[in-house]
Amino acid sequence: MKNVTIENACSEKWNEMAPTDKGAYCQVCATNVVDFTNKSSLEIKQLLLANSGNSVCGRIKTQQLEQLNTEFELWNASSKQTIQRAMFFSLLVVFGLTLFSCETEKEKQAIQALQASVSTVLASNTADAQPQIELVQKVETIELPDLITEEITSNCKCDYQVNPPEPIKEVILEEFPVEERIHVTMGAMAYTTRFIDYLEETSPVMEYDENGIALPTELTSKAYPNPTADFTTLELGLPEKERAEIAVYSMNGQHLQTVYDGKIERGTSTYSIDLSAYEPGMYLITIRSKKFNETVRVSKM
Of 169, 203, 237, which marks where a domain is finished?
Answer: 203
Decide if pLDDT at 73 tops 70.
Answer: yes
Complete edge-to-edge strand list for the sheet that includes strand 57-61: 4-6, 184-191, 57-61, 31-35, 23-26, 18-19
Same domain, yes or no, for 24 and 89? yes
User: Which pLDDT score is estimated for 267?
Assistant: 87
Per-chain mean pLDDT for the chain: 77
Whether residue 143 lies inside any domain: the answer is no
What is the pLDDT at residue 169? 54
Query: Residue 219 is part of a domain; what is its CATH number?
Result: 2.60.40.1930
* 53 or 142: which leads in pLDDT: 53
pLDDT at 85: 62
How many domains are contained in the chain?
2
Contact 221, 234 (CB under 8 A): yes
Parent domain of 292: 214-300
- The pLDDT assigned to 180 comes to 47
CA distances from residue 94 to 80, 84, 89, 90, 265 in whole angstroms, order as listed: 21, 16, 9, 6, 55
Tell which of 151, 170, 203 closes a domain.
203
pLDDT, tens digit (0-9, with 9 covering 90-100), for 232-286: 999 999 988 999 999 999 999 999 999 999 999 988 899 999 999 999 999 999 9
Looking at residue 164, what is its pLDDT? 57
148 is a domain residue: no
CA distance 301 to 295: 19
Q: Say whether both 225 and 108 belong to one domain.
A: no
Q: Give yes or no: residues 190 and 262 share one domain.
A: no
Shared domain check, 187 and 270: no
pLDDT of residue 125: 53
Residue 174 resides in a domain: no
What does pTM read for this prediction? 0.44
Residues 199 and 218 in one domain: no
Which H/E stretch holds residue 297? strand 293-300
pLDDT surpassing 70 at residue 202: yes
- Residue 77 pLDDT class (50, 70, 90 cuts): confident
Looking at the structure, do residues 115 and 234 belong to the same domain, yes or no? no
Residues 277, 189 share a domain? no
**Position 169 in a domain:** no
**Which of the four pLDDT bands, split at 50, 70 and 90, describes residue 149?**
very low
Q: In terms of domains, do 111 and 189 share one? A: yes
Does residue 129 register a pLDDT over 60? Answer: no
Same domain, 42 and 189: yes
What is the total residue count of the chain? 301
For 10-52, the pLDDT digits (tens) are 889 898 898 887 889 998 888 999 999 988 888 888 888 888 8
Reported as a pLDDT band with limits 50, 70 and 90, residue 167 is: low
Residue 37 domain flag:
yes
Residues 5 and 110 in one domain: yes
- Distances in Å between the Cα of 76 and the Cα atoms of 43, 60, 98, 198, 201 are 20, 23, 33, 8, 11
Tell me, yes or no, whether 219 and 199 share the same domain.
Answer: no
Q: Considering only 29-33, 163-167, 198-202, 222-226, which range has the smallest mean pLDDT?
A: 163-167
Specify whether 49 is located in the same domain as 116: yes
For residues 42 and 65, which has the higher predicted lDDT (pLDDT)? Answer: 65
